[in-house]
Amino acid sequence: MKREIRVGLCGCGVIGEGLVTALQQHADVISARAGAPIRLAAVADKDPARLDIVRAQDPSIALLDDAFEIPKRDDVDIVVELIGGVEVADRLVRAALDAKKHVVTANKALLAERGAALFELAEANGCDLYFEAAVAGAIPVIRVIRESLASDHIRSVRGIINGTSNYILSSMANDGAAFGDALKAAQEAGFAEADPTLDITGGDASHKLALIAGLAFGARVLPSEIPTEGIEQVDPRDIQYARNFGYAIRPLAVAERLQDGALDLRVHPALVPQSDPLAHVDGALNAVAIQGAMVGPSFLSGLGAGAAPTATSVAGDIIDIARNSLAGAPMRRWYLPTEGAQEIQAIADLSSRYYLRFSVQDESGVLAALSGALGDSGISIELMVQDVDDGDGGTATIAMLTHHAHEGDVRAALDAIDDTHLTTASTHLIRIVE
């Protein structure tokens, strides 16, 4: 065996503790695959209780309360950043790269917001900056795009990359739960944070999609530039109507290069045909479908979050960097060279089919008026059902699927319809992704 590779861990929360366990309990297989012993040399965390857990596993590990001491240590070759957030993590990663230390991170927010500058800094210092765990946990999405499909042109990537949202929608579909009850169940099961905002609003998925767009298309995209919608407005009625139409509702992230060179990037709940494998990805599982020009479709599925899956991806990155270091290989470029400005298609220009749910007055002529208003905007109806609502409110629900139309035209037509006496609540729209 060659010289050992020494790791310094910054942040020993759930994922950090999982990494400590992996490096200790799987040391034999990790070292064998890396080509040298990999030793956890130092761990930094502000919580003494977390450090006590590490001390109990291996008293020889140096324990620190200041993460910024890790990059300064001579006995650290790879710095693992698991503290989260953006500002402090950014300074820490920069400090590690400036000290000529390789870096592994699971911090999707950091890389989505500051990735371009950090990768330039890594290249300037001859360091690797790996982040497999930042997208879809244990599913090797990054590695597949970077390595397995390196010789192909990626046409599209679409998938479920937020397990919390998928767990909630699955609970609503399988148990008939209302959104609030499904969210509470996700929190009790440990799949949703006490503050689930980033997950249910689509923010977490948009961070991950920004990274995917960089890898697949060489795009430099900020999450704020990606059209993003959460799952909060999905109603149990939508799930039932979708099922009756032959679809499931899933929280999707979509990245596709269009024929004119623009990028179609978006995060939102979507109707997915029951014939699509994504329709059968339940619970907290993640799944990604990749379409290549030469290889055609590829499908990856597995656990997208949690201590063990995420720590496994972090450890895999450590092994890769160790191999590079032992082989004397220079740092590896992650992003494709940017080919000029890459325009993101405006969501109003999206051509898609749509699911629409109208709440209307239960009176004669309403259905004809709705159909006429849509038709006047060039929007044709493919399927439609009408149900009279229970109670004495004199209201009804009309659910329909449209043929392809531009979203701007659909939104304008719905705004005009909702301004009339025909509807009793704002019309609900969900895109269909096929």
Query: CA–CA separation, 151 vs 198, rounded Å?
Result: 34
Give the number of other Cβ atoms within 10 Å of residue 183's Cβ.
24
Query: CA–CA separation, 58 vs 60, rounded Å?
Result: 5
| Spatial contact of 117 and 194, defined as CB atoms under 8 Å apart | no
Cα dihedral across residues 191, 193, 198, 204: positive or negative: negative
Length of the chain, in residues: 434
For residue 288, the SS3 value is strand
Q: What is the dihedral of CA 317, 319, 322, 326, to 10 degrees?
A: -140
Complete DSSP assignment for 109-168: HHHHHHHHHHHHHHHHTT--EE-GGGTTTTS-HHHIIIIITTTS-EEEEEEE--HHHHHH
Query: CA–CA separation, 413 vs 420, rounded Å?
Result: 11
Active site residue 108: no
Of 413, 414, 428, 347, nearest to 378 by C-alpha is 413
Q: Distance of CA 422 to CAs 56, 237, 376, 392, 427, Å?
A: 68, 20, 16, 17, 11
The phi, psi pair for 352, rounded to 5°, reads: -155, 170
| Spatial contact of 36 and 326, defined as CB atoms under 8 Å apart | yes
> Of the listed 2, 100, 184, 208, which one is catalytic?
208
Query: CA–CA separation, 322 vs 148, rounded Å?
Result: 20
| Spatial contact of 251 and 269, defined as CB atoms under 8 Å apart | yes
Query: CA–CA separation, 377 vs 357, rounded Å?
Result: 17
Which residues lie closer than 8 Å to 129 by C-beta, 6 or more apart? Answer: 93, 97, 102, 103, 105, 118, 119, 122, 331, 334
Query: CA–CA separation, 122 vs 94, rounded Å?
Result: 9
Q: What is the dihedral of CA 232, 234, 235, 240, to 10 degrees?
A: -150
Query: CA–CA separation, 18 vs 53, rounded Å?
Result: 11
Active site residues: 208
